[in-house]
Amino acid sequence: MPNPISRTRVLEQSRRAPAAWALAWALAIACLLIAPLAHAATLPDAPATALPAEEGYRLWLRYVPVAGEWLARYRAGATELVGAGTSPTLRAAHAELVRGLTGLLGTAPQPSRQVTRDGAIVFGTPGTSPLVRRLPLDLRPAGAEGYLIRTVTIEGHSATVIAANTDIGVLYGAFGFLRLLQTRQPIGHLDIATSPKISRRVLDHWDNLNGTVERGYAGDSLWKWESLPQYLSPRYTDYARACASIGINGAVLDNVNASPFILTPLYLRKIAALAGVLRPYGIRVYLSVPFSEPVSLGKLKSADPLDPRVQAWWSAKVAEIYRDIPDFGGLLMKANSEGQPGPGDYGRTQAQGANLLARALAPHGGIVMWRAFVYTTGGHSEDRARQAYDTFKPLDGKFADNVLVQVKNGPIDFQPREPFHPLFGAMPHTHLMLELQITKEYLGQRTSMVYLGPLFEEALRADTWARGAGSTVARVTDGSLYGERLTAIAGVANTGSERNWTGSIFNQANWYAFGRLAWNPDLAAREIATEWVAMTFTSDPRFLAPVVKLMMGSREAAVDYMTPLGLAGQMAAGTHFGPGPWVAPARGTPPDWSSTYYSRPGASGIGFDRTATGSDAIAQYSPHVAAQWGNLATCPDDLLLWFHHLPWDYRMRSGRTLWDSLVRHYDRGVEWVKQARATWGTLAPYVDAQRYRLTADYLAIEEQDAQWWRDASIAYFQSISHLPLPAGSAPPPDTLAHYEAFCIPYVEGSPGPNPACPPADVTVPR
Ligand code: GCV
């Protein structure tokens, strides 16, 4: 489906006066020549001068004054604000419109009960606003959470109506309207109807009750458990605003490696207080819980899902939660995975475990999000990529109707690139939800620029072929492939206590992109980046075009300098930061916690044979996909070594050998970061000094890290391939021993120190 905002733009433009129309098109074409933009701002703002320093706290909701020709247009389209209704959500919508319009236009819109002049903004539902009720609007496309934004005539005056069936739809519409101004879209002739395609759009916080965040690279937890429930930090409201602005409607507050304290009355009071802050913004609270809770908290002898005492315990506990949090969303479970307890401990299946919770939640309308991320039970050390499918596929149709099986985008673990998870499309009788990782555990963590929009887009657009062409992961997730109504998507959050929320300014874009794609999985990553840059920085094409280009290339660059050609799992053990391609299976740890398990380098070549001659994991995909990826003539280069073990001198389609191609990718990744730094260096005039500096310094770090990745990886693989580097590729400046010895003991967000980093080995990088 085309993006409604783009559609609106076209509509608006076709009605514009001819002179302005020609000018606008000339400018738009100029912008498009610089870079292909989804939304080319047709009128530049006045040139930036010395901009006041910003720390990034306001995210994409900065509402900085509009300048140039847009100001007059927008002022004319936002003269008065006409809203009725007193619910907390409508009050939030009103407050946001006042805040946004005041910031953008320099003056607050006049509050009014009636439309008294052109340019009024009317907002509400038919139930709360007599004006909305009287308008001939078809609100069916808005559904339960969507909205219409339409240019209408009321009492002879031109007005914009933001209308929805529900209060939360109005709030989303308020943010949608402000986004039009923030991205410099025309607002004279609007005809927007939008509603989310996925019903539960959830952030999974891996926040621990001790205030740390697993795989968090932005400081401590947002939730200040000690001071809850009495103190409600204003950050909670700002978090809710940010989430609502992109349509996120759920938050799992705690880590999937859950603490048994989470369901104690002490914490439930705190959680209820947080739920109270998030509620007006349409955000339901969910919790991760340990499967063994009936034992650790309930003092029962077992947590066996078939034990009636266990069932009664969960029912009572869930009822207790709903007494304090009537709109509680449900429970998230990581079971029998990475040492977590689960139904397997009692000889029960994952479905029996999930249904235990489902039965307790069903009377209250709650859901279970049951993770498919299992790989420690039942063996399968020969190929971890197979295990989730082998465990869950036989259980298709056995999960209760309020269970969603939560599946990571790829079969291993949020790698820079993975093929889509084979469970997508393979469980037609089970609700599946997609889990993406917004925090960049394997993609440079805090400091890399990596914009995840292209990764998310790639995951959503992947075609499972389960029901022929077009059976994409997006269609599985939004329920349209198998006609499901209960649909969900989760993103592992990247938020923390840092003033800029996400550790870097560019990491904010990943939170934004997740929300926008959760609302509409068909949006394009480039279009989202364009919106985000316009809102977070400026819509000036001299800044916007090069920055969108940087963002769009940033993920592929990281793939290049970390794990090109389908490699995976080459990071340092434990911390997952920096290269560790030489990490071999260690005694006492699973073999798949090493790098060589995935790359399988040796005299015979490199890569993991997942075809019929190897682990045959490829057979878990539909025949069409398996045939394409299994055949060397049609397997895409970027998944080559994921599925195939190939000799170093294998001839690629490019004509290069595999070895040369590998080296070229590492080089290309480093080169990209160098260029990115240079480009950013030219953009200082368009961004305040504080955000400019932070980004410039982080890019410098990324360049150093990319070089480290490239040099260390080449040094290691060359020690096995024994091949010369291709012409023009510089040899790594240090010996392999040097790279192997250099390690970082502690990394933010890691549960423990790097196991491969004894104090005696810690050196200073050159
Ligand atoms: C929360 C990976 C991460 C773990 C994470 C796990 C999961 O293994 O490294 O930190 O645990 O995924 O998704 O459960």
Phi, psi values for residue 170, rounded to 5°: -65, -40
Q: Is 205 in the pocket of ligand 1 (CB under 6 A)?
A: no
Question: What single-letter amino acid sits at 650?
Answer: Y
Name the residue at shortest CA distance from atom 14 of ligand 1. Answer: 256
- Could you identify the atom of ligand 1 that is nearest to the CA of residue 435? 13
Question: Mind listing the pLDDT tens digit for each residue in 178-234?
Answer: 999 999 999 999 999 999 999 999 999 999 999 999 999 999 999 999 999 999 999
Strand order in the sheet with 191-194: 110-112, 80-83, 120-124, 157-163, 147-154, 191-194
Give yes or no for residue 215 CB within 6 A of ligand 1: yes
Using the structure block, give the residue that is written with the tokens 């703002």: 45
Confidence (pLDDT) at 8: 30
Give the integer Cα–Cα distance in Å for 764 and 743.
9
Q: How far is the CA of 207 from the centre of ligand 1 (A)?
A: 12
Q: What is the whole-number distance in angstroms between the Cα of residue 419 and the centre of ligand 1?
A: 19
Helix (H, G, I), strand (E, B) or coil at 30: helix
What pLDDT shows up at residue 750? 87
Marked catalytic residue, from 441, 463, 484, 703: 441
Query: Ligand 1 pocket test: which of 217, 337, 413 has the largest number of ligand atoms within 8 Å of its C-beta?
Result: 413
- Pocket lining: 167 vs ligand 1, CB cutoff 6 Å: no
Contact 328, 364 (CB under 8 A): yes
> What is the predicted pLDDT for the residue at 35?
37
**Residue 765, pLDDT score:** 59
Atom number, ligand 1, closest to the C-alpha of residue 256: 1
Q: Among 215, 445, 594, which is best to mutate for testing ligand 1, by the most ligand atoms less than 8 A from CB?
A: 215
Find the helix or strand (DSSP H, E) in which 200 lies. Answer: strand 200-204
Phi-psi region of 415 (alpha: psi -120 to 50; beta: other; left: phi over 0): beta
pLDDT score at 390: 96
Catalytic residue check, 338: yes
Q: How far is CA 710 from CA 390, 444, 707, in A?
A: 35, 14, 5
* Known catalytic membership, residue 413: yes
Number of C-beta neighbours around residue 402 at 10 A: 20
**21: Cβ–Cβ under 8 A, 6 or more apart, which residues?**
13
Query: How far is residue 174's CA from residue 338's CA, in Å, rounded to a whole number?
Result: 43
Any ligand 1 atom below 6 A from CB of 206: yes
Residue identifier of the C-alpha nearest atom 13 of ligand 1: 373
- Annotated catalytic residue, options 12, 207, 413, 531: 413
CA distance 703 to 711: 12
User: Which atom of ligand 1 is found nearest the CA of 337?
Assistant: 14
Q: Report the atom number in ligand 1 closest to the C-alpha of 206.
A: 1
Contact 74, 181 (CB under 8 A): yes
The reply to whether ligand 1 has any atom less than 6 angstroms from the CB of 413 is yes
Regarding the beta carbon of 214 and ligand 1, being less than 6 Å apart is answered: yes
CB of residue 314 inside a 6 A radius of ligand 1: no
Closest CA to 250 of 134, 342, 367: 367
Ligand 1 nearest atom to the CA of residue 214, by list position:
10
Query: Which of 338, 435, 577 has most ligand 1 atoms within 8 Å of its beta carbon, as the pocket-test mutant?
Result: 338
CB atoms within 10 A of CB 318: 22
Distance, CA 338 to ligand 1 centroid (Å)? Answer: 8
* DSSP characters over 267-280: HHHHHHHHHHHHGG
The residues of the chain scoring below 70 in pLDDT are 1-49, 376-381, 763-766
Return the ligand 1 atom nearest residue 255 CA. 1
* Any atom of ligand 1 within 6 Å of the Cβ of 334: yes
Q: Which of 613, 50, 737, 312 is nearest to 303 (CA)?
A: 312
Whether ligand 1 lies within 6 angstroms of the CB of 69 is answered as no
Does 590 sit in the ligand 1 pocket, CB within 6 Å? no
Is residue 593 within 6 Å of ligand 1 at its C-beta? no
Instruction: Determine which one of 155, 338, 649, 697 is catalytic.
Output: 338
Atom of ligand 1 lying closest to residue 576 CA: 9
The residues with which 158 forms a beta bridge, in sequence order, are: 153
* Alpha carbons 149 and 138: distance in angstroms, whole number: 12
Q: Is the CB of 217 under 6 A from ligand 1?
A: no
Q: Ligand 1 within 6 A of 373 CB?
A: yes
Whole-prediction pTM:
0.93
Q: Whose CA is nearest to atom 11 of ligand 1?
A: 257
12 sits in which H/E element: helix 4-14
Distance 119 CA to ligand 1 centre (A): 51
Does ligand 1 lie within 6 Å of residue 675's CB atom?
A: no
What digits encode the pLDDT tens for the residues 466-506?
Answer: 999 999 999 999 999 999 999 999 999 999 999 999 999 99
